Amino acid sequence: MPAGVLNSYKELLPLTNATPMITLGEGDTPLVKSNRLGRELGCPELYFKLEGCNPTGSFKDRGMVVAIAKALEEGSQAIMCASTGNTSASAAAFGAYCDLPTFVLIPKGEVAMGKLAQAMAYGAKVIMVNGNFDVALGLVREFTKKNQVTLVNSVNPHRIEGQKTAAFELVDSLGDAPDFLFIPVGNAGNITAYWKGFKEYQSLERSRTLPSMMGFQAEGAAPIVRGEPVANPQTIASAIRIGNPATWNGAVDARDESGGVIDSVSDDEILEAYRQLASKEGIFCEPASAASFAGLVKLLRQGWDLHDKTIVCVCTGNGLKDPDLAVSSAGGNTAEVEANIEAIEAATLGNGR
């Protein structure tokens, strides 16, 4: 089968004969069964969906490929997005691939280094705004209304269409929907997309069941949990530092229709989950991504009994996106030694010293 989201799920996407079948190799990401954490936590049917394996290192590529294909079909001459980093990396990559000038608005000083590096390397025009993500998205909406530039944030419905394919893949892998889907929530496009995907697959009788949708925001950026926008969202998980999610209603509907939960996790809980995923499963995701697993741990600590449930935690982005945080929070299991065998032995086996 030819690679990519458009080819793999043609009949379930809004494509026409005029849609260019572009791909950077997005989608078809690994679903990895937990080897240690599930057993430790008493929920052995625990899986991780590794969206950091997409071509630009996050789930954004699934929706971006559809948004860009439709933009090309419609004769668009340029694209624009606001971003906490991953959307800009993905838009910039597809913009480069399709020769579409790309403008990205990012909150100045708040985007992880790897993501900024990507947008710059792919050749996007990077516009650093003195304001947060919500302000930048407002500006993008206004600009794209006034100018012939296509908005490729997830308020563009083609983005949601592409992102729903991750739910299809989960059902295709597991044979049915999981009982619970844990997912980070920022601008709330992705939880909306997964829920749409699960419902579509069920109505096509490709799955019998639907999951409970378990969305997690960062405590300092938890507008949906609080029930009101957060003017100054704060969290170490910069990807989900969002105070007024564009698809707020989609997240609430996913929660309510699925009998799920939207809750928050603290930065400490996020960092603990981030470290555990890397050091106990070999899964290096970015901090925002760890909010899904942190949410699972939080509910288990509250006494939820999930021992016989199939659980998927979505790992939305690659840990390499934020190398500064990785180094500063890793716990420092490093040594600096002289270049001789005794020193190596001392550092490894602990004898001598």
Q: Does 184 bind ligand AN7 (CB under 6 A)?
A: yes
Do 276 and 229 contact (CB within 8 A), yes or no? no
Q: How far is CA 242 from the centre of its chain?
A: 14
C-alpha 271/C-alpha 264 separation (Å) is: 14
**Residue 317 is a binding residue for ligand AN7 (CB under 6 A):** yes
Contact region with ligand AN7 (CB under 6 A), list: 140-148, 172-180, 282-290, 337-345: 282-290
Closer by beta carbon to ligand AN7, 45 or else 81: 81
Do 101 and 125 meet the contact criterion of CB atoms below 8 Å apart? yes
185 binds ligand AN7 (CB under 6 A): yes
Cβ nearer to ligand AN7, comparing 246 with 297? 246
CA distances (Å), 225 to each of 145, 228, 243, 273, in order?
Answer: 31, 8, 11, 20
Which CB sits closer to ligand AN7, 45 or 216?
216
Instruction: Tell me the closest approach of the beta carbon of residue 338 to ligand AN7, in angstroms.
Output: 41
Whichever of 114 and 189 has its CB closer to ligand AN7, that residue is 189
Using CB under 6 A as the binding rule, whether residue 83 contacts ligand AN7 is answered as yes
Q: Please enumerate in sequence order all residues whose Cβ is within 8 A of that of 272, keeping only pairs 6 or more positions apart, or say none.
A: 294, 297
Does position 250 interact with ligand AN7 (CB under 6 A)? The reply is no
Nearer to ligand AN7 (CB atom), residue 27 or residue 186:
186
Asked if 286 interacts with ligand AN7 (CB under 6 A), we say: yes
Confirm or reject binding of residue 288 to ligand AN7 (CB under 6 A). Answer: yes
Contact between 190 and ligand AN7 by CB under 6 A: the answer reads yes
By CB under 6 A, residue 212 contacts ligand AN7: no
Tell me how far, at minimum, the Cβ of 273 lies from ligand AN7, in Å: 13
- Closest approach, Cβ 241 to ligand AN7, in A, equals 9
Q: How many residues bind ligand AN7 (CB under 6 A)?
A: 21
Instruction: Choose the stretch contacting ligand AN7; rule: CB under 6 A; options: 26-34, 84-92, 140-148, 252-260.
Output: 84-92
d(CA 165, CA 14): 12
Identity (one letter) of the amino acid at 3? A
Give the interface segment with ligand AN7, choosing from 82-90, 143-151, 297-305, 339-347 (CB under 6 A).
Answer: 82-90
Between CA 243 and CA 254, with CA 248 as vertex, the angle to 5 degrees is 135
**Among 58, 102, 118, 264, which residue sits at the site for ligand AN7 (rule: CB under 6 A)?**
58
- Among the listed residues 188, 210, 224, 326, the single contact to ligand AN7 using CB under 6 A: 188
Q: Is 187 one of the binding residues for ligand AN7 (CB under 6 A)?
A: yes
Q: How far is the CB of 169 from ligand AN7 (least distance, A)?
A: 17
Residue 80: CB minimum distance to ligand AN7, A: 12
Q: Which of 34, 87, 165, 258 binds ligand AN7 (CB under 6 A)?
A: 87
Judged by CB under 6 A, the residue of 150, 264, 289, 310 near ligand AN7 is: 289
List contacts with ligand AN7 (CB under 6 A). 58, 83-87, 154, 184-190, 239-240, 286, 288-289, 316-317
